[in-house]
């Protein structure tokens, strides 16, 4: 991988990490979690962008990135004794298909059937990929003990 290919990806990573961090303030996350959320979102996007760059399919690269975000969420939640959602959900923001949802809608408005189908299936693939990633972790995590609770 050449440096001039890597630099735009790194720049976008920084942009999305900062944007997600700011979005997390809107969701009223406690300020002490913000650095961890920025790192999580950046890592998630970097994984997605690199896999995408190396030609992985949309669904697979999103699934692996979402899986990384979910694992990160579970680990951070246990370290910080905070709910998992505080870390895992914001970390997935960089993958949310806001762009392809818009282009699907725009194609529908323009009456472009072919474009609508291709953009629509992209949106579905991304959503499905994220779902697969989250699922693989949640199914396992549910059976792990929750930290901090005494068994009674």
Is the CB of 6 or the CB of 96 nearer to another protein? 96
Helix axes 85-92, 58-80, angle to 10 degrees: 150
Mark 26-65 with x for binding to another protein (rule: CB under 8 A) and - for no binding: xxxxx-----------------------------------
Q: Which position among 7, 35, 57, 102 is part of the footprint of another protein (CB under 8 A)?
A: 102
Cα distances from 143 to residues 73, 101, 128, 137, 140, in angstroms, run 16, 35, 23, 11, 6
The least distance separating another protein from the CB of residue 129, rounded to whole angstroms, comes to 11
Start-end of H helices in 34-142: 34-53, 58-80, 85-92, 98-110, 113-141
> Which three-class secondary structure string do you get for 112-147?
CHHHHHHHHHHHHHHHHHHHHHHHHHHHHHCCCCCC
Subset of residues 66 to 85 that bind another protein, contact rule: CB under 8 A:
81-83, 85
Residue 140 lies near another protein (rule: CB under 8 A):
no
Sites of contact with another protein (CB under 8 A): 12, 15-16, 18-19, 22-30, 81-83, 85-86, 88-89, 92-94, 96, 98-99, 101-106, 108-110, 127, 130-131, 134-135, 138-139, 142, 146, 148-150, 152
């Amino acid at each position: 991988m050449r440096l001039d290919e890597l630099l735009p990806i790194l720049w976008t990573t920084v942009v999305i990490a900062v944007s997600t961090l700011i979005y997390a303030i809107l969701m009223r996350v406690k300020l002490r979690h913000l650095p961890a959320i920025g790192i999580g979102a950046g890592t998630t996007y970097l994984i997605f962008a690199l896999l995408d760059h190396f030609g992985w399919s949309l669904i697979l690269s999103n699934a692996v990135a979402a899986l990384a975000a979910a694992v990160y969420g579970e680990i951070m939640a246990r370290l910080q004794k905070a709910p998992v959602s505080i870390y895992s959900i914001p970390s997935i923001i960089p993958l949310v298909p806001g762009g392809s949802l818009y282009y699907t809608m725009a194609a529908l408005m323009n009456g472009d059937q072919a474009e609508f189908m291709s953009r629509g299936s992209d949106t579905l693939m991304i959503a499905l990929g994220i779902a697969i990633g989250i699922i693989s972790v949640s199914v396992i995590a549910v059976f792990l003990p929750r930290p901090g609770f005494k068994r009674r």
